[in-house]
Structures are given as C-alpha cells and as structure tokens.
Amino acid sequence: MQHADTACQIKTTCPYCGVGCGVIASVEGERVTHVEGDGEHPANFGRLCVKGSALHETLGERGRLTTPLVDGRPTDWDTALDTLTARLQVIRQQHGNASVAAYLSGQLLTEDYYVANKLFKGFLGTPHLDTNSRLCMASAVAAYKRSLGADAVPCNYEDLEEAELVVLVGSNLAWNHPVLYQRLKVAKTRNPLMRIVVIDPRVTDSCEIADLYLGLKPGSDALLFNGLLAWMAATHRVDTLYVEAHTEGFVEALDMAKATAGDIATVAQACDLDPERLETFYYWFASQLHVVTLYSQGINQSTSGTDKCNAIINCHLAGGKIGLPGAGPFSITGQPNAMGGREVGGLANQLAAHMDYHLPGALDRVSRFWSTQTLAAVLPEAPGYKAIELFDAIERGEIKALWVMATNPAVSLPDAARVRRALNACPLVIVSECVSDTDMLAYADIVLPATGWSEKEGTVTNSERRISRQRGLLPPPGEARHDWWIICEAAKRLGFGEAFGYAHPWEIFDEHARLSGFENEGEGKRLFDISALVGLGHEGYERLSPIQWPVTANAPHGTARLFEEGVFPTPSGRAHLLPVTPRPPEQKVSDAYPLRLNTGRIRDQWHTMTRTGRAPRLMNHRPEPYIDVHPEDAATYGISDQQLAVLAAPHGRYRGRVRVANAQRRGEVFIPMHWSDVHSREARSGALIEGLTDPVSGQPESKQGAVSLAPLSVAWEATLLCADDVTLNETALALDYWTRIPMQGCQRWQLADARPVHDWLAQTSAWQLAPATLWCEDAGEGRFRAAGIVDGRLRWWLMIAPPRELPGLAWLEARFNAPTLDDASRRRLLAGCEDGAADTGPVVCSCHQVGQAAIVRAIRAGDTSVEALGARLACGTQCGSCLPELKTLIEEERRHAHAEQASSPEMA
C-alpha cells in the first residue's frame, strides 16, 4: 500500500461472487477513483470482471441509508438501539427466547456474522438464526458433510487449471464467476488436451469453451451421475483400490445407481439426451483421473439438491478423483462470504466454528468458550429453523421478532407473497441495510443504517477456502455504522456487554480463530481450524494476506488442497458414498402451468441490484426484466421477440420482455433473479417459485418452477427518461408494465399499458412532468415523442413506441448532463441522436460501451475474430466477459452470410 496525504491505493476484496477477487482501490480524499484487479491475489491475479471493475461507480451517498429509523421516523442511535432492545426483551419475556430470530447474509463479513451468531445462539438463546446462504449453498454443504464429513471444498482454483477434464454442471461460469471462467479459458488454450463438458438445460455463454454440451432435462442431474457411476462400474473404471482404502457405502450407492440408471439408453431417455453424447461424457469422465466437476446453483437449488451433489461426489470417490491436483467435486459459491458465514455457524443447523448440534460435546464446548466470568452463554439444545421454515414460523406467529441483516428476503425467497404476508404480520422487524430503497424496508419497524463494502473492515472466505481482508476505503456516510458495532451495541444494552466488548474487528477475528482451535485435536478433530491466525494483533490483521484454511501449526501458510492422504473427518476416517434415488422436481408442470421455469443471474448484475443497479453501464447489458423463450414456444403462445409477456405460477406473476432464444429447450423458459419492486412491477422471480425445499438442506427449488406464459396485451409502450431529481407520480406506477433503469444523471423508465392514451401531452401533465417544450407525433402509427426543457436544461424525454425503436441512449444521457442545450442538440433532441449518427445498438461490451450494431458492422467489414474486433473497437479487451457474445455475433454473421449465399446462387 502506498499511502499519501490525499491519494492512496488500498487492497481489498470484491463483494460480489464467490470467486473472491482481490481488488486494488485508488482512493483520493473521500472518493474511490478507480479499481483494478490485485495482481498478487491468488484468486484473480489481476483480473476483474465487469461488475468488479465498476465497483467505484456504485459508491456515493446517493440512495444510502444514513439515519436510524424507528416506526418510520428518523432518530439517533441511542434511541434506535434502546427501542430495539426494549422491544426484543418484551417479546422474549412474553414468548420465550425462541420467539426471536435473525436472518443474515453471505454479504456480511465473517466478523459481523460471528458476533450475530454469538449474540443470538449464545446469549439470546434462540437457535433461529439462518442466512441467505440457505438459498445458495445449503445443498452443497449438506452433501459435503454427508460424504466428506465436513463442509469443506476439497479443491482450489488451480485444480481447475490443472485438470484434464472440467465438467461444468448447473453452472454458467462465464456469467456468474467470470474471472474463474477466464482462468479456465486461458488454461484450456495452454493445454489443448484439456476437455470441458457443459451440462445445463440452457446453452449458456459457458458453452463457448465446451468440447461437449449436454442439454439435459431440468432436474435430471442425479440420474445422469447415477448413470455415470453405474457405467464406471460396468466398464471397470472404478478405482477399486481407492474405494476399498478410503470410502464406505460404495456397494449400496452402486446398487442404487444400477437400479435407477443402469444403462445408457435409460439415462439418455430420462435426461432427454443423445445416447452417444452421453456415453462420450461417461467415457471422458471415467477414463481421466484429473477431473474437476464444478457445480453451482443449477444443482443446489433443488428439492433433491443434496442428493444431486452426493451423486456427483460418489463418482469422484469411486474414481479416486479427489485429493489430487486437478481433481475433485468443486462446489462454487454464489456469494462473497457464504463460506465465511458458515465458518462461524451462520446456518440454523450449525453452532459455531463448524460444530453442529449433533456433534458430541459441541454445545458444552461452545458454551464454555463464550461464557465470561459473570455471563454464562446459554445455547439452545436443538437446531433452529432454516430460511423457509423460519418464515413459516413467523407466519404461524411462533416467531415474533426478526432481525434481517444485509439481505432482501422480500425479494429473494420463493413464494415471496407469503414471505411478505409473514413480514407484515411479524410484530417486530429490524432491518440493517445500506440502501434507502429496498423492498424490505416497507416491512421494517426499526431500520438501522449499515456500512457498505467500501467502508467495512473484516474478512471474507471465497470458494477455495481462502480468507481475504476487506478493507475500509471511505468513511461511512451520515450515521451509518458497521454491522458488528450495531450488534455489539445491542448486546451491551441487553446486558451481554462483557461478551461483546470488541473495539475492532481484529479482536473478533482473533476470538473466531481461537474458537476454531478450541479443544480441536485428536479424535473427531474438526477440519475448520485457523488457530495459527490467533494472536495476529491489530497490525497483523491489517497485513493479513489471502490464506486458505486450515491454517494450523502444521500448516502455517494454509492448505491448498484437502484429503490428499485419503483421510476424511468422519468417525471412520472414510468418505461416504451415498445411495441416491433420483427425484424429479416437486414443482410439476401441468396443463395450467405447462412450462418449466429456470431462474438465474445475469452477467452484469448482482442480487437485487441495490449496488450494481447504481452503475449505469451495468444496466445496459440487460436493461429490463426478461423471459427467454424457445422460438417454437413463442410461436405457440403468439409472442414475438421483444414483446411484453406475463408468466404466472400458482402464487405469483412475473412481467418481462420476451427474448426469443434458441438457447432454451422447448417447453422451458428462463428469467433473471435480480429485479425487485424497486426496479420493476411484478418482476421478482421469487414470486413464481413455490416454497418447496430439499428435506436435508432446506434449500428451495428455485431452478425448477412451473409457469404459464401469455402475452401482455398493451395499447402502447413508452420510454421515459427523467433527470435524476424528477419523480414520477403514482399514476405511472399503476401502469400494466413499468421498469426503471438507472442511467448517469437520469433514470430510464420503460412503460406500457393496455388502456389507450389519446392525448399524450395531457398524459405527460398527468404524470406531473414539466410542460412539454417540444413534441412530435404520428397518430396513425401511435408514435409520439416529447421533451421537457426547463431553464435550458433537459428534464425529461418521452418516446411512445416499442423500445426497439430507441436510439442509442448515450447521446440523450449526455444531454441530461449538459448544463444547457445548444440549438443543434435541441433540434436533434426528439430524434435522440446526432444527425445521421449510426445507432450502435444494445451494448455488448460494458467496459468500453461498444454496441452490437457497431460490432456487426465491424464483422461485416472483415473483423472476423475477437482479436480483430478488440483491435478496432476495444470491445472484449478489458474484462473479457463479452467475449462469448462477440464470438456468437461473429458466428451468426458467418451463418447469415452463408445462408444468403445459399439463397442466391446466381451471386455465388
């Protein structure tokens, strides 16, 4: 770090996905001016994806919570905390400890998580503390624990690069873990023998590097991997030595595999796959030793997710493909600190430091560790409610008080309508939050302004068990406070001050590290042990370099790979193969809901967009909530590309714009999971998903909904751009469709409604916009454009037309930010672009803001490689996450040219 008076560079960690990239932030005064990848961080070696490289654009006080609120009224911290503790105590006294609950987040830092877990489980005496990691990693965790004996990812990122075969299953790595994807891609270029198999119902951008793609039927993964196990056995490709020496349960698992997926034909039919392609995959997997199977939410978010994970792990154990370089079942984490949260016991079925309720002596050990001279920690006897159960319990009235930190369950949980009812009915809802506008705040009695990524100090653990420091870059805005501080202040007021007397996160980390090593030796030794990080002190903590746990006296520099000796932290020391009975999704498609719904993340957004939504360039890739539909389904339902449509499920609806996509299987649709009520009307994916969960992990079945599809009939569509300080009144929000897209210095609204408007000038007045200064119309075509100028500044711009008629919006955006409009610009205002300026189309490369039309033109001009495109337009040269799309465009143009040639032979 180079500190200077006004400018310095600070190393920290990216707050988005589970890759956990190191970031170097350039800070000038109270502003982060630039971020870049940390070349020394082992997760990314200098790379950053588009989200990460826009981090500094998401900062600033605009839209931040800066004051505590009690019952909607601003107040000071003392009042807020006094009220909070008083109300909590009343509820505890009247309804018992177990009437109090917390719902945390993989966005919290380990230290925040630790004190929250300690307060709720150790001192408030309630087991009901769960986290949104439940929606993400719970199945993977449960499966690891069942088979390997610990919630421990055996591999690391280098194993991906060293593998001979990488299987991506239920993972669109290219979009969701872009930096890891880039590493894999580079590795494949360096090692032409490396093969990559992508298993996914959708053709995703990750297929760009696939040697083999299996577009399987959604939810049939367990069958696929049972089939693999049976095939390995049948073709004598089981590593019998490894199985005999290091595992148990092989026979039972194999029997079940044979019974359910005994031959290629059966599996191919059940998974809806081509038998030869299937067998190719089996052959490749079975014949290579160095195989990494990388899996993510496509596997986890299922009512049989744990079994699916175990079906994968079974194959690795049977082949001895674990504990070796370039081998292992690798669950890739969705959130930045999902693993850190679990290390401290953030799940309802955990106590702390990888100790669970059922672990002999664990309750007593943790109680003793947390008790102070005068305070006895009183831990609950049994596990608490997992996320969905927790909200069920709130709905039943069993839980009366809920403290939500850094997450947005009103959006992210399935059957969100029910979640919202529960929140409404809950007598005390406390929300710790950074942002002033989220769906959750409507349900909060007490709102506590928390610090955000650029302000916090602490640690996170990424997908390869690597603990990294997040460091504060900026002072907190207003009255915002760190989560650990808020929790400790509440604890003090509750009378637990002695156990929560931390002055700095390093002290919390130190205690956490001590607990990991506390009575942790010999028989039943816990794998999670970072006792060698005890006693770092403040300075050592500040200097802490990224390190992989376990970090012990024997492994003071951390542990890159687990289970290299074939010894597992199970009672027998052996890994378990589990018999897996494949089960189909519990949400059934039916005549009423005939389409299979898949949900997921998009490349440039994160969760409910409270942060990424603040960076306008990240909104350009997919500006609106959308629905990917197979062309034949689109035809069946009478919907064309870019038309608005509604998906309906038994408990909710979703409105979005249809993208007709060959990448979809027929009968299946895909929607993004990011939109909330803050950004759009009825575009929450959670509304369509039923609250059905995996019986082992409690993880909801978010990937396999059942929906119906219908066009959203509208009389008109509009695009309205408003200066940031122009607010749209309620009448606009009552329209059949609205979605809000933040831009630089202005907001874009897409609007549509079934009720015809005859007088658009009157309508703009009804929306309480400043009077239209200029307008144009073609009533016959239903086209209208208008703009309002006040004191020479553009205030709003309206276009009545489908959004495909929009010009590239960069020019208009610049007009909103111009101090005055010159005459030439004003004359072009309604056109929305310079005279004759070529429309660059939707943005493909977010880093350099290169549009699709510009790229297609360049391809037609002869730039038929991504390198050539990069040289000409700079697209794809920064983060590289648009490279797959660039390749697709090149390929499409090639096919297009080919087709044209074929159709006009006289030109050939």
Minimum CB distance to another protein smaller for 54 or for 789: 789
Site membership for another protein, residue 872 (CB under 8 A): no
Minimum CB distance to another protein smaller for 218 or for 832: 832
User: Which residue in the set 77, 284, 775, 811 belongs to the binding site for another protein (CB under 8 A)?
Assistant: 775
User: Which residue in the set 492, 783, 793, 872 belongs to the binding site for another protein (CB under 8 A)?
Assistant: 783
Distance of alpha carbon 433 from alpha carbon 429, whole angstroms: 12
∠ CA 479-612-805, nearest 5°, is 130
Rounded to a whole number of angstroms, the minimum distance from the CB of residue 772 to another protein is 8
Site membership for another protein, residue 779 (CB under 8 A): yes
Beta strands 458-461 and 466-470 are antiparallel
Minimum CB distance to another protein smaller for 762 or for 908: 762
Give the binding range for another protein (CB under 8 A) out of 486-494, 596-604, 701-709, 768-776: 768-776
Site membership for another protein, residue 906 (CB under 8 A): no
Distance of alpha carbon 814 from alpha carbon 720, whole angstroms: 15
SS3 575: strand
* Nearest-10 Cα torsion for 272, 658, 724, 720: 180
User: Which residue in the set 192, 780, 819, 905 belongs to the binding site for another protein (CB under 8 A)?
Assistant: 780
Rounded to a whole number of angstroms, the minimum distance from the CB of residue 785 to another protein is 8
Distance of alpha carbon 206 from alpha carbon 804, whole angstroms: 27
Rounded to a whole number of angstroms, the minimum distance from the CB of residue 789 to another protein is 7
List residues bridging with 789 in a β-sheet: 794
Site membership for another protein, residue 674 (CB under 8 A): no
What mask, x for binding another protein by CB under 8 A, covers residues 824 to 863?
--xxx-xx-x-xxxxx------------------------
Minimum CB distance to another protein smaller for 261 or for 769: 769
Rounded to a whole number of angstroms, the minimum distance from the CB of residue 759 to another protein is 13
The answer to whether the beta carbons of residues 128 and 399 sit under 8 Å apart is yes
- Sites for another protein among residues 336-395 (CB under 8 A): none
**Number of alpha helices (DSSP H) and beta strands (DSSP E) in the chain:** 31, 36
Minimum CB distance to another protein smaller for 557 or for 804: 804
- How far is residue 152 CA from its own chain's centroid? 20
Minimum CB distance to another protein smaller for 294 or for 856: 856
Site membership for another protein, residue 805 (CB under 8 A): yes
Rounded to a whole number of angstroms, the minimum distance from the CB of residue 715 to another protein is 18
User: Which residue in the set 754, 776, 814, 899 belongs to the binding site for another protein (CB under 8 A)?
Assistant: 776
In angstroms, the Cα distances linking 657 to 621, 670, 802 are: 14, 11, 11
In angstroms, the Cα distances linking 622 to 392, 598, 671 are: 34, 17, 11
Beta strands 850-851 and 843-845 are antiparallel
Rounded to a whole number of angstroms, the minimum distance from the CB of residue 780 to another protein is 4
Radius of gyration of the chain (CA): 27
- Sites for another protein among residues 562-601 (CB under 8 A): none
Rounded to a whole number of angstroms, the minimum distance from the CB of residue 640 to another protein is 18
Site membership for another protein, residue 819 (CB under 8 A): no
Helices (H), 637-759: 730-733
In angstroms, the Cα distances linking 305 to 126, 141, 218, 250, 302 are: 27, 10, 12, 20, 5
Helices (H), 124-177: 138-148, 157-162, 173-176
Distance of alpha carbon 383 from alpha carbon 391, whole angstroms: 15
Rounded to a whole number of angstroms, the minimum distance from the CB of residue 791 to another protein is 11
Site membership for another protein, residue 523 (CB under 8 A): no
SS3 814: helix
Site membership for another protein, residue 756 (CB under 8 A): no
Backbone angles phi, psi at 876, to 5 degrees: 80, 5
Minimum CB distance to another protein smaller for 252 or for 778: 778
Minimum CB distance to another protein smaller for 90 or for 831: 831
Rounded to a whole number of angstroms, the minimum distance from the CB of residue 803 to another protein is 13
Beta strands 652-660 and 668-672 are unpaired
Q: Is the bond leading into 449 cis (omega within 30 degrees of zero)?
A: no
Query: Residue 439 has which token pair?
Result: 């769906």
Site membership for another protein, residue 790 (CB under 8 A): no
Site membership for another protein, residue 757 (CB under 8 A): no
Rounded to a whole number of angstroms, the minimum distance from the CB of residue 12 to another protein is 45
Give the binding range for another protein (CB under 8 A) out of 178-186, 396-404, 511-519, 771-779: 771-779
List residues bridging with 798 in a β-sheet: 720, 786
Site membership for another protein, residue 794 (CB under 8 A): no
The answer to whether the beta carbons of residues 392 and 91 sit under 8 Å apart is no
Minimum CB distance to another protein smaller for 774 or for 899: 774
Q: Is 250 left (phi over 0), alpha (psi -120 to 50) or beta?
A: alpha
Distance of alpha carbon 414 from alpha carbon 240, whole angstroms: 43
Minimum CB distance to another protein smaller for 530 or for 799: 799
Rounded to a whole number of angstroms, the minimum distance from the CB of residue 713 to another protein is 22
Rounded to a whole number of angstroms, the minimum distance from the CB of residue 745 to another protein is 22
Rounded to a whole number of angstroms, the minimum distance from the CB of residue 721 to another protein is 17
Minimum CB distance to another protein smaller for 536 or for 830: 830
The answer to whether the beta carbons of residues 458 and 112 sit under 8 Å apart is yes
Query: Residue 818 has which token pair?
Result: 């111009």
Neighbours of 897 (CB within 10 A): 13
Minimum CB distance to another protein smaller for 89 or for 825: 825
Site membership for another protein, residue 778 (CB under 8 A): yes
Minimum CB distance to another protein smaller for 317 or for 809: 809
Site membership for another protein, residue 759 (CB under 8 A): no
Minimum CB distance to another protein smaller for 49 or for 833: 833
Neighbours of 791 (CB within 10 A): 6
Give the binding range for another protein (CB under 8 A) out of 402-410, 412-420, 423-431, 772-780: 772-780
- Residues contacting residue 376 through CB under 8 Å, at least 6 positions apart: 367
Distance of alpha carbon 116 from alpha carbon 485, whole angstroms: 10
Minimum CB distance to another protein smaller for 211 or for 839: 839
Give the binding range for another protein (CB under 8 A) out of 4-12, 134-142, 695-703, 821-829: 821-829
Rounded to a whole number of angstroms, the minimum distance from the CB of residue 831 to another protein is 4
Distance of alpha carbon 211 from alpha carbon 219, whole angstroms: 22
Give the binding range for another protein (CB under 8 A) out of 10-18, 35-43, 457-465, 767-775: 767-775
Minimum CB distance to another protein smaller for 271 or for 800: 800
Residue count at the site for another protein (CB under 8 A)?
25
The answer to whether the beta carbons of residues 48 and 179 sit under 8 Å apart is yes
User: Which residue in the set 539, 730, 781, 906 belongs to the binding site for another protein (CB under 8 A)?
Assistant: 781
Site membership for another protein, residue 823 (CB under 8 A): yes
In angstroms, the Cα distances linking 387 to 484, 714, 795 are: 22, 38, 44
Site membership for another protein, residue 777 (CB under 8 A): yes
Query: Residue 215 has which token pair?
Result: 């577009």
Distance of alpha carbon 517 from alpha carbon 369, whole angstroms: 11
User: Which residue in the set 720, 789, 850, 873 belongs to the binding site for another protein (CB under 8 A)?
Assistant: 789
Neighbours of 272 (CB within 10 A): 14
Minimum CB distance to another protein smaller for 259 or for 774: 774
- Sites for another protein among residues 226-245 (CB under 8 A): none
**Binding site residues, another protein, CB under 8 A:** 773-781, 783, 789, 801, 805, 823, 826-828, 830-831, 833, 835-839
